[in-house]
A = this chain, B = another copy of it.
Amino acid sequence: MPERDLQYLAELAAQLRVDSVRAAAEAGSGHPTSSMSAADLMAVLFACHLRYDFDDPANPANDHLIFSKGHASPLLYSLYKAAGVIDDEELLTFRRRGSRLEGHPTPRLPWVDVATGSLGQGLPVGVGVAMAGRLERVPYRVWVLCGDSELAEGSIWEAAEHAGAEGLANLIAIVDVNRLGQRGPTRHGWDTGAYARRFGAFGWHTIEIDGHDPGQIDYALNDACNTRRRPTAILAKTRKGEGVLEVENREGAHGKALKDPDKAVTELGGSRNVRVEVHRPESDATPYRFATSGMQVPAWPVGDQVSTRAAYGEALKALGAARGDVVALDGEVADSTKTQVFAEEFPERFFEMYIAEQQLVAAAVGMQVRGWKPYAATFAAFLTRAHDFIRMAGVSGASIRLVGSHAGVAIGEDGPSQMGLEDLAMLRTTYGSTVLYPCDANQTAALLSEMADLEGVSYLRTTRGDTPVIYEPGERFPVGGSRVLRQNPGDRATIVAAGVTVHEALAAADELRAGDIPVGVIDLYSIKPVDAAALIEAATTTGTLITVEDHRAEGGLGDAVSDAVSELGPRVVKLAVTDLPGSATPREQLADAGIDRAAIVAAVKRLL
């Protein structure tokens, strides 16, 4: 096979190094040395093993390639140039304003599945893509280029555990063991055995090679392709900056353009115009799709006592019946979040991710790469564990649906470690996100369905305890909307609540009305986007908004309301959790936090 011609592979790799040096030199920054160490690995992958139709990035039979070491972007872009999908002119726009060739890869490029650059994320996302392959019964492979430094991230070992235990043989990690991190030597240097022992202990097939020897690389990639029932980790010993003496295997040469790029290019044998013909996938794959039946939205009679987490479970089951593309993941708490209801009905589309929230979210990101509609659930508090993955999902424009149960002090006796009190703030700050917080079962079911077609990261916050059903089945709750639940001509203030505090607000409003102090109540179930029009109208009418939330005072519902009306300047009074709760009953917790009906009544009376 000509592509296995060693001279050709060496020329291709040299060109990748040259172009990496040139791109970084033109930009005046970037990571050429981290690109140069992996050039041989990627040259052999592209020339001999990758199956990818660059003319049709959406071909479902295409392999997936994820640069978990996203800072090696010059290498990735040099590969695209060698594959003929970008030209040299575009290569040299690297890191410039408006260029698709950003400092770290993002899906602005049609061949990039997810944004990387926060280390330790590419492999867990690759696990999700590999999981989808098994679900779809399509034999694509998922190649992940990892750095050695990022193997210190715990998320890598969550991925190793999941992939190893599930036997994801379609997942191949290529680790560029170049010995040098950003600041200095890595912990294990060139001891590829240290990494091999770790991956091996987690159930992976491992191969240790010289990462600059095309023959060994080819052997390893081939071996990985032929390995059954286990993912493969290729531990490739390489030299950072390979090929240029100024930087080769030297400390202090991370993340900067070379001092003398022209000399480096000469040292590498000069510019070339080598093309690589990447193999197209052999067959047109048709991904398996699950059969569907009609949508039967669950319905609860007004007045029933039902927790919104229970409604989520039932509604997800109904959605799963109607849509074959819905999958559910959970962090070993499905009996609490109630994902269990879906899991029992659709075991093939349920994924137990165990107590590994980073991998939970990463798997969802990986599965949506393949067009699935993932819902990933755990306690709202524990979603903070995956904050960086959620942040990067926003950067990727990934459409994932997160569900956080056991929100707020209302969980009661379990205490502060289990209370989601920061989740609204975390999800509100996420780029392109949607944040929903229902107060009753029928609203939960309606919002869960709305989420299915949302783009970006969306979030549903659910409550542990039962709350009364206040909305009729079948009512619509558009994202970005709100519901005015109490409104009288003489309202002295408007209470804005969501979730569990809606019921406290209604009780408070009734008590105040009995005392001749009419107040309005708005159910702000859509925290982001927020219904600014309704809030501005209320602010204009009553002049005072009282926000009540089972969440910390920073970054949640109160801030969303203040923000919506801030140019208008009404009085906004915020009731939220400010102290550190301990154990107590749910009702005691709401009272202690000053967010129950009595606290609302007191706040209104204080203000008027």
**Chain A interface residues toward B at CB < 8 A:** 27, 29-30, 70, 95-99, 101-104, 106, 108, 115-120, 149-150, 152-158, 161, 165, 181-183, 186-188, 197-198, 200-202, 330, 332-336, 340, 352, 354-359, 381-382, 384-385, 387-388, 391-392, 394-395, 397, 413-418, 421-422, 425-426, 428-432, 528, 552-556, 558-560, 562-563, 566-574, 580, 582-585, 588, 592
Contact = CB atoms under 8 A, between A and B. Distances in A.
A413 B103 contact: yes
Contacts of A118: 381-382, 385, 417-418
A495 B152 CA distance: 43
12 contacts: A27-B413, A97-B583, A98-B582, A102-B583, A104-B414, A104-B418, A154-B155, A182-B335, A387-B422, A421-B431, A425-B429, A431-B580
B384 A391 contact: yes
B430 A416 contact: no
Given A117-B415, A388-B384, A414-B104, A186 B555 contact: no
B426 A120 contact: no
Contacts of A395: 416-417, 580
Contacts of A528: 554
A103 B418 contact: yes
Contacts of A382: 118, 388
A582 B335 contact: no
A578 to B, nearest CB: 9
A309 B588 CA distance: 45
Contacts of A592: 97
Given A183-B340, A416-B431, 4 more contacts: A154-B356, A384-B388, A553-B563, A562-B562
Contacts of A387: 384-385, 387-388, 422, 426
A183 B99 contact: no
A426 B430 CA distance: 11
Nearest to A414: B103
Contact of A96 (B187, B332, B335, B584): B584
A425 B555 contact: yes
Contacts of A554: 425, 428-429, 528, 555, 559-560, 563
A202 B196 CA distance: 11
A607 B553 CA distance: 29
Nearest to A552: B429
A558 B429 CA distance: 13
A211 to B, nearest CB: 20
A414 to B, nearest CB: 4
Contacts of A154: 153-158, 356, 358-359
B152 A391 contact: no
Given A102-B583, A354-B187, A569-B570, A417 B429 contact: no
Given A103-B414, A157-B154, A582-B102, A187 B202 contact: no
A439 to B, nearest CB: 22
Contacts of A98: 582, 584
